[in-house]
Amino acid sequence: MVTSLNRKLKVLYSFPHKIGASRICHTAWQQVAGVSAAGAEITVFPGAVFKPLPSNIKVRPTLACGRFRIPYKLLGTVRACALHDLIVSLRLEHMRDQVDVIHTWPLGARRTLQTAARLGIPTVLERPNTHTRFGYEIVNAESKRLGIILPHRDEHKYNAKILSIEEEEYNLADYILCPSDFVVRSFLRYGFKQEKLLRHIYGFDHNKFWPNLNAPVDRKFTLLFVGVCSVVKGLHFALEAWVNSIASTNGTFLIVGDFLPAYAEKLAKFLSHPSVKVLGFRKDIPEIMRQSHALVLPSLTEGFGLVVAEAMGSGCVPLVSESCTDICKHMVNSLVHPVGDVELLSRQISTLSSDSLLLAKLRAGALRNVPEFTWDAAGRRLLQAYERAAGQITNRHGQ
């Protein structure tokens, strides 16, 4: 794909963590590979490399050289990200004519964004979840209602220092990359202009997640939860809804993920139900999804819901809250409920477990949508976002 510049777009991708590791590190790796495949010329400045990127991509780590790595635990995440940001900003001073757009990530962007603005280079800031203040407010209020004290290192525990850094980054960036309309709405809530919020998507690896087309139709109904077992993901809503549904009498609710001890203690009466099975951390999630009928994700707040895309690709029907509706369409490829509506979620679980025709319809709807949210599709969408940013900022500066 070529841009309005009639050549490949030159992208500097700055990521302050170990690209290719888990969670956002996996997302960053897939983004880089996807947008490169889509046609961008991309140079990556990661903190370190956990999984090598395709050979055609230039990679220059900031916090590692060969086998030597600056330990993130020794510095702490905030200081490590700040050091990465400083190094990128210094390198950028000599790259003015080599970059069309810069892609940054939270906590490691402030100096880079300031330098880019001085050099006239357009910038986008990734926002993998909602506005930080919104996330803090929602999750801390629900934790208080449940009587749970979030641990000091929990990413959703209110942290004034992190909030200050990230809000400054929001203001410095030319554009904020939002992977869902839910994220967009969280920024509009705090006065951001629609024009500053660029939409793109995340995706799933279709080489790992695919459906079992030969699964027996009469197998026992299985509901699945995958993710960090925490307040923000709303697992407490799912457990209560499950136990109160007819599915709990002869079905199984599988929970994959690690628990915060205080949260597990609070949910002990539900977790001890004979139909609930806690599997802990697992590496065979694709196979578990293929063997499950539905995935439940009743999140309070969500950036995109990667696990929902993986479930759809596996033929596992999503039951999700309204924070996960970018790819989930009620009664088309999923069942959707308002955040915290346990009664409705319970009825939906009961209905899906007893209505094989509805289950088949939603499963077919989900599989039809698969090509729209692979990582390849996400790479093409991200390149379009870059082109929009580069074109609009270039016009603004009259270059």
| pTM reported for the whole predicted model | 0.92
Same-domain check for residues 74 and 191: yes
Give CA–CA dist 243/48, Å, rounded.
Answer: 44
Angle between helices 77-92 and 160-172 (to 10 degrees): 20
Counting the structural domains of the chain, the total is 2
Q: Is residue 5 part of a domain?
A: no
Same-domain check for residues 115 and 176: yes
Same-domain check for residues 250 and 351: yes
Q: What is the pLDDT of residue 154?
A: 83
Please list the residues that pair with 280 across neighbouring strands: 256
Q: Is residue 214 part of a domain?
A: no
- Phi and psi dihedrals of 364, rounded to 5? -65, -40
Same-domain check for residues 113 and 140: yes
The whole domain housing 257 covers: 222-372
Give CA–CA dist 104/133, Å, rounded.
Answer: 19
Same-domain check for residues 351 and 273: yes
Same-domain check for residues 254 and 177: no
Which residues of the chain have a pLDDT value below 50?
1-4, 396-399
Helix (H) or strand (E) holding 59: strand 58-59
What single letter denotes the amino acid at residue 189?
R
Q: What is the pLDDT of residue 219?
A: 79
Q: Is residue 24 part of a domain?
A: yes
Q: What is the DSSP letter of 54?
A: P
Same-domain check for residues 37 and 152: yes
Same-domain check for residues 48 and 89: yes
Same-domain check for residues 239 and 251: yes
Give CA–CA dist 209/300, Å, rounded.
Answer: 25
**CATH code assigned at 14:** 3.40.50.2000
Q: What is the pLDDT of residue 3?
A: 43
Q: What is the pLDDT of residue 144?
A: 95
Same-domain check for residues 173 and 84: yes
Q: Is residue 79 part of a domain?
A: yes
Query: Cβ(297)–Cβ(307) under 8 Å?
Result: yes
Q: Is residue 217 part of a domain?
A: no
Query: Cβ(50)–Cβ(25) under 8 Å?
Result: yes
Same-domain check for residues 139 and 177: yes
